[in-house]
Structure 1
Amino acid sequence: MKNEAENVEALVREIAETCASIAPFEVILVDDGSDDGTGAVIAGLQREFPWLRQLRHPVSAGQSAAVHSGVHAARGDIICTLDGDGQNPPHEIPALAAPFLDRHCPADLGLVAGQRVDRDDTWSRRSASTFANGLRSWLLNDGTRDTGCGLKAFRRDAFLALPYFNHMHRYLPALFTRDGWAVAHVDVSHRAREAGRSKYSNIGRALVGLYDLFGVAWLIRRRKTQKPTEVGRTPDGDTA
């Protein structure tokens, strides 16, 4: 969250109501250098919700840094992420977590990625996103229609093993696939921002997006995997 004081309370209360069915859980809000009182609002809500935690970046470091800080601090094995502006509906969280909570969950499932349908954004933003997603999908072949959606669920240990860089949150399907994990997709809803203003511009996204895209393509092509053979011990204690 960066300067989302007007959105914090509604978001937290909706998470509390929606996630009651999958308790216990914790919620970590990362205040990314806000100067509008976002942190004070979170602190007030912590008195009501004991599962609510707050991390603060003294200066804004961006969305990928916020996600990385939150995952490092998290105590759960499964992480669900969503943007702090209220455009990612919290009622989608149980659907993202469901594949991991299923006792038949595949051992190689690493990421469940939300893909927005009926996106409630301006025409210019939807058009820019469609072009960027098409280019990314063609170059990375990640099988994902919408990597910009903040609604995702993944294994904490698998995420922390990924190469970390700024804007990595836009390339999680490709990065998880690169490390041998299976990726599933869930269609999710999207809604308009009710308060505050966006921290992104189409031009800004495009400039960093092209640079990052070729960098991720390089990472994927440079990946080398090996299956090590475990050296055990015989029953009498000798090395096998």
Structure 2
Amino acid sequence: MYEFTIIVPVYNEEENLERVEKELLDYSKIATKKTSILFVNDGSKDNSQELIEAICKRNENFNFINFTENRGLSAAIKAGFDSVESELVGYIDSDLQTAPEDFNLLLAKIGEYDLVTGVRANRKDSFVKNMSSTIANGIRRAFTHDGMDDTGCPLKVIKSDYAKRIPMFKGLHRFLPAMILLQNGKIIQVPVQHFPRMAGTANFGVWNRLIGPLMDCFAYLWMKKKYINYEIKNKG
């Protein structure tokens, strides 16, 4: 039924979920592809799951996956990738610091490319958060040579067959463009809107914006060296 699935990772976001429902319902009416939404509840300890189930009950194009315990953003995204049946998959953070309507900007490019990622213009974050992200992105580009300025932007569209072949591990969500390049795919970045967090609490600090990504860069280099890529010529 659906051409495009939006994954929404959730961890303790009860204050944002009704707004997420409204924004994504509004987007569904203007989406350039027939769209479904998949919540992935990453072991939330608040009332997020109860709200998610209520939202899914009243909206036929909303579904959910509920983890037994918190496993992190990369695991939530990977679970979403593994579950989708649509040709295209994307994701957006449940804090809605990016706008669902900007998915249409990304979808306009996806025919020619295999991954289209947003790059946050005029970021509305603190100086420390912006600076740590800038440094982390510079380090990552030096390791991956992917040419992307903002892989942490929580607005992406990927062709599902590429997404399903990504061997995900913790922290690898920052390397999605590089992992598409390993599959000989084509990537591009598109400027998107960015807004301050309206509710809830950010789950990231200086450690997982700087030290963690640096360690993940070495994991990526190991994976790049060991990565197996192949194309099937025919079947019989």
**TM-score with structure 2 setting the length:** 0.89
What residue number does 1:192 align with?
A: 196
Q: 1:224 Cα deviation (Å)?
A: 5.6
The question of whether the paired residues in 1 share the 8 Å contact of 2:133 and 2:209 is answered with: no
RMSD across aligned C-alpha pairs, in angstroms?
Answer: 1.7
Amino acid of the structure 2 residue aligned with 1:12:
E
3-state SS of the aligned residue for 2:44? Answer: coil
2:151 is aligned, of 127, 147, 152, to 147
What residue number does 1:220 align with?
A: 224
Amino acid of the structure 2 residue aligned with 1:99:
K
Q: 1:46 Cα deviation (Å)?
A: 2.0
Amino acid of the structure 1 residue aligned with 2:183:
D
1:168 is aligned, of 166, 169, 172, to 172
The question of whether the paired residues in 1 share the 8 Å contact of 2:136 and 2:209 is answered with: no
The question of whether the paired residues in 2 share the 8 Å contact of 1:80 and 1:96 is answered with: no
Contiguous gaps of at least 5 residues in structure 2:
1-9
Q: 1:186 Cα deviation (Å)?
A: 0.9
Q: 1:44 to 1:137 in 2, by over 3 A?
A: same
C-alpha separation between the residues in 1 aligned to 2:235 and 2:37?
A: 41
What residue number does 1:238 align with?
A: none
C-alpha separation between the residues in 2 aligned to 1:125 and 1:231?
A: 50
Tell me whether 205-214 or 32-41 shows the greater mean CA deviation. 205-214
| Structure 2 residue 140 is the aligned partner of structure 1 residue 130 | no
What residue number does 2:210 align with?
A: 206
Q: 1:207 Cα deviation (Å)?
A: 2.5
Contiguous gaps of at least 5 residues in structure 1:
233-240
C-alpha separation between the residues in 2 aligned to 1:212 and 1:181?
A: 21
The question of whether the paired residues in 1 share the 8 Å contact of 2:132 and 2:206 is answered with: yes
2:86 is aligned, of 66, 76, 85, to 76
For residues 10-57 of structure 1, the C-alpha deviation after alignment (integer angstroms, 9 at most, x for no partner) is: 112111112313352210011111121011111222232111111111
Q: 1:227 Cα deviation (Å)?
A: 5.7
Amino acid of the structure 2 residue aligned with 1:93:
F
What residue number does 1:41 align with?
A: 51
The question of whether the paired residues in 2 share the 8 Å contact of 1:80 and 1:97 is answered with: no
Moved over 3 A (4+): 221-232
Mapping of 1:105-124 within 5 angstroms? 105-106=111-112, 109-124=113-128
3-state SS of the aligned residue for 2:95? Answer: coil
What residue number does 2:5 align with?
A: none
> Highest CA radius of gyration, 1 or 2?
1
Q: 1:121 to 1:231 in 2, by over 3 A?
A: closer
The question of whether the paired residues in 2 share the 8 Å contact of 1:11 and 1:90 is answered with: no
What residue number does 2:13 align with?
A: 4
C-alpha separation between the residues in 2 aligned to 1:45 and 1:89?
A: 19
Tell me whether 85-94 or 183-192 shows the greater mean CA deviation. 85-94
Q: 1:77 Cα deviation (Å)?
A: 1.1
Q: 1:196 Cα deviation (Å)?
A: 0.9
Amino acid of the structure 2 residue aligned with 1:13:
K
C-alpha separation between the residues in 2 aligned to 1:120 and 1:37?
A: 27
Identical residues among aligned pairs (%): 28
Q: 1:203 Cα deviation (Å)?
A: 1.9
Q: 1:85 Cα deviation (Å)?
A: 1.4
Q: 1:168 Cα deviation (Å)?
A: 1.2
C-alpha separation between the residues in 1 aligned to 2:230 and 2:211?
A: 35
